[in-house]
Structure 1
Amino acid sequence: RLLDEANTFAAKYGTLLQVLIFPLIAAIAGGVKLFRDRQRNRPDLHLELVDVGRAGAAENVTFGLKITNLGECPATRTQYTWTPRSSLIMTPVPAGFLVTKGEPRRFEFTMDSDELIGHGLAGVMRSRYRLLGWLELTYYAGWGLWRTVDTAINVGNDPTIPVQLGKVPRPPWTDYITPLKTWQEKRIRDKDIRDLDRYLQRCREYLAARGVEVELLAPGESLNRLFTELRRRGWRSSYETGGRGYEVYAEKDYPPSSGMTIRLSANTLVDAATLVVASAIESDEEHGG
């Protein structure tokens, strides 16, 4: 009897199943598979300390914070917010950069050794003095989704490793008052712009001391001079419109097996090229090239 009822149902609703139900099930299954593949390949940024100098071994303690993308898809339009709680200085980086798998980016930090040791001693009595600052990255992960990764930088427990990463503290009470939060964010943005302007000026002075003049009133000549300097030093370069105006890319191989890749962006092509050429010359001097 059950078999007869099944045959009757199939005969009555067979056309409906073929035209509507089965394609709908296939579409849902395909959408689920596409979503799972996207989730599996989405960009995933991780932060890691690298090249940490020993406290007291030099006048300044320097270290890097490496950004690694563990996902298959690139993290685009990456923005950052550096919140200092000490004299720890982060070298400004133009926002809106790209982080792809296999090509990590990094931030550079510097702090006076004596001040770092002083923070460590004060942190024995009050833990809040161990906090040097925290960094927050926001990046576009596709499909209209934005993701955030953050880390705090604290005084380390060992002089050989003077800094360590930790959890970001709870937001200050001003974040819960919208006008104060807006004012604070504007103040930080203005400070980042001033820091980037000062860093650009230092780069121009650094290049001028090495015979590469960057004239703001003659951007065409300056741009030609900058790219000529890259070619003369053996760097392969290109540029494109990026998240913050223009992005300049440079790459060079150092014998026997090391290499260097630089990708920086700025509001204008001349500024982006200035940052890249200054970094390229510093890299050459470090490698003796």
Structure 2
Amino acid sequence: MAILVNRNSRIIVQGITGSEGGFHAGQCLEYGGNVVGGVTPGKGGQTALDGQVPVFDSCAEARREVGANVSLIFVPPPFAADAIMEAAAAGIELIVCITEGIPVAQMVEVKAFVEQTGSRFIGPNCPGVLTPGQAKVGIMPGFIAKEGRIGVISKSGTLTYEAVDQLVKEGFGQSTCIGIGGDPIIGTTMTDLLEMFENDPDTDAIVMIGEIGGSMEIDAAKFAKSTVSKPVVGYIAGQTAPPGRRMGHAGAIVSGADESAAAKKKLMAECGVNVVESPADIGRTVKAVLKHHIEIGVEL
């Protein structure tokens, strides 16, 4: 069944007439996603992708004319916050923002606004969502994944790809892969997605990739212990980072002992998460955990 996106998702691309938006819209369409339109204010009535996709002036128009329910955003940082809120105001059910560099103050406003509308928001500064064999909404390289029953949640785009590669090498496909982004303020958390995968009958296990800084992984581990029946394999990036040092993502700042890699790994293990020391161990650990569940008679 997958979560968030599938072959029936009706996708629009905000910023489709720009170079990046046009390129990645084409990649999503080529993968098999149902890209039904694009949005660029002032360019409504034109077409994109060699005439394959109509362009609208607004998300509201795209929703009304082509039934759009997913928006993929490739809008420059100064305009991205408004683009997200426009999509939410139009009733777009899932909004995925790839744009990086959106000011934190603007994201606080965006998050509050989106929560009032009921839309689901992924990102910003993320690689998007991939349901193998069905739809790609973002910049993930679809060819590395295959259809299967392992859910993937990750703060890091690169580590998402590494996890998928390790799973495929061990013979496992993915139900859905989600890169949630590494900014301090993001739309959808690990806990949100753990709950969705727990309720997905076509997901047997979940891979969760976090990093130093913040409490999201801690909250997710506690939720997994209390609510998730499916096995969870976890990894924390930034294990060698000194306290107070930022490592890549804006959200990856260790401000206290409880946010260090060691503390997060310890708590995750105490909560029943199968913690790995290296991304290279993800595939084989999923294989071992699923085998153990079968041996002890746990229904997946």
TM band (smaller chain)? under 0.3
The structure whose residues are more often strand, as a share, is 1
Could you state the TM-score of these two structures normalised by the residue count of structure 2?
A: 0.23
